[in-house]
C-alpha cells in the first residue's frame, strides 16, 4: 500500500503540478510579480483535480472487495469532486476574455477542491491495495 501511495504522490500529484510550478518560475524570471493567484487564475488546479479523481474512480471500480461501503463513499466523493471541478473549469474558461471574475475567489475555490481531491483520491487509490 505504501508503494502505491508514493507512486500516486509522485506521478499523480507532483508531476501534474510541474506545469504550474514552471509557470510560477516564468513569472518570476520575467520580472512579473509572481503569485499563486496568477498561476491558477484560469482554473488549472481544477483540471488536475479532474485527472486525480478520475484515476481514483477507475481504481475503485476495479477493486474486488466485500466492503462495498468504502467503494460507495470514496467513489461518490471522487465523482462529486470530478463533476464539480469540470463544471467550474468550464465556467471559468468561458470568461477568459472577461475580467469580471475574482482571482482570489478562483484561487480559494480551486485550492479547496484541489485539497479535497487530493485527500479523496489518495484514499481511493491506496485503499485498493488493502485487505479491507
Percentage of the chain beyond pLDDT 70 is: 95
Contact 127, 65 (CB under 8 A): no
Please report the sign of the dihedral spanned by the C-alpha atoms of residue 34, residue 35, residue 38, residue 42: positive
The tens place of each residue's pLDDT in the chain, 132 residues long, gives 788 889 889 998 999 999 999 989 998 898 778 888 888 888 899 999 999 999 999 988 888 877 778 888 999 999 999 999 999 999 988 876 656 788 888 899 999 999 999 999 999 888 887 766
Which tens digit of pLDDT belongs to each residue from 75-91? Answer: 999 999 999 999 999 99
Predicted confidence at residue 98, as pLDDT, reads 55
Predicted confidence at residue 14, as pLDDT, reads 93
Predicted confidence at residue 13, as pLDDT, reads 92
One-character DSSP codes across 39-69? HTTT-HHHHHHHHHHHHHHHHHHH---S-HH
Q: Please state the pTM of the whole predicted model.
A: 0.87
Predicted confidence at residue 36, as pLDDT, reads 85
Which tens digit of pLDDT belongs to each residue from 44-64? Answer: 999 999 999 999 999 888 888
Amino acid at each position: 500500500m505504501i508503494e502505491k501511495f508514493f507512486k500516486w504522490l509522485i506521478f499523480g500529484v507532483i508531476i501534474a503540478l510541474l506545469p504550474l510550478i514552471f509557470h510560477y518560475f516564468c513569472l518570476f524570471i520575467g520580472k512579473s510579480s509572481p503569485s499563486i493567484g496568477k498561476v491558477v487564475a484560469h482554473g488549472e488546479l481544477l483540471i488536475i483535480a479532474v485527472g486525480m479523481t478520475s484515476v481514483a474512480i477507475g481504481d475503485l471500480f476495479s477493486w474486488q472487495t466485500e466492503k462495498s461501503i468504502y467503494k460507495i463513499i470514496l467513489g461518490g466523493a471522487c465523482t462529486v469532486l470530478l463533476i464539480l471541478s469540470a463544471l467550474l473549469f468550464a465556467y471559468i474558461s468561458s470568461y477568459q476574455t472577461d475580467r469580471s471574475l475574482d482571482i482570489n475567489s478562483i484561487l480559494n475555490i480551486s485550492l479547496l477542491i484541489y485539497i479535497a481531491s487530493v485527500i479523496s483520491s489518495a484514499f481511493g487509490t491506496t485503499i485498493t491495495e488493502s485487505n479491507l
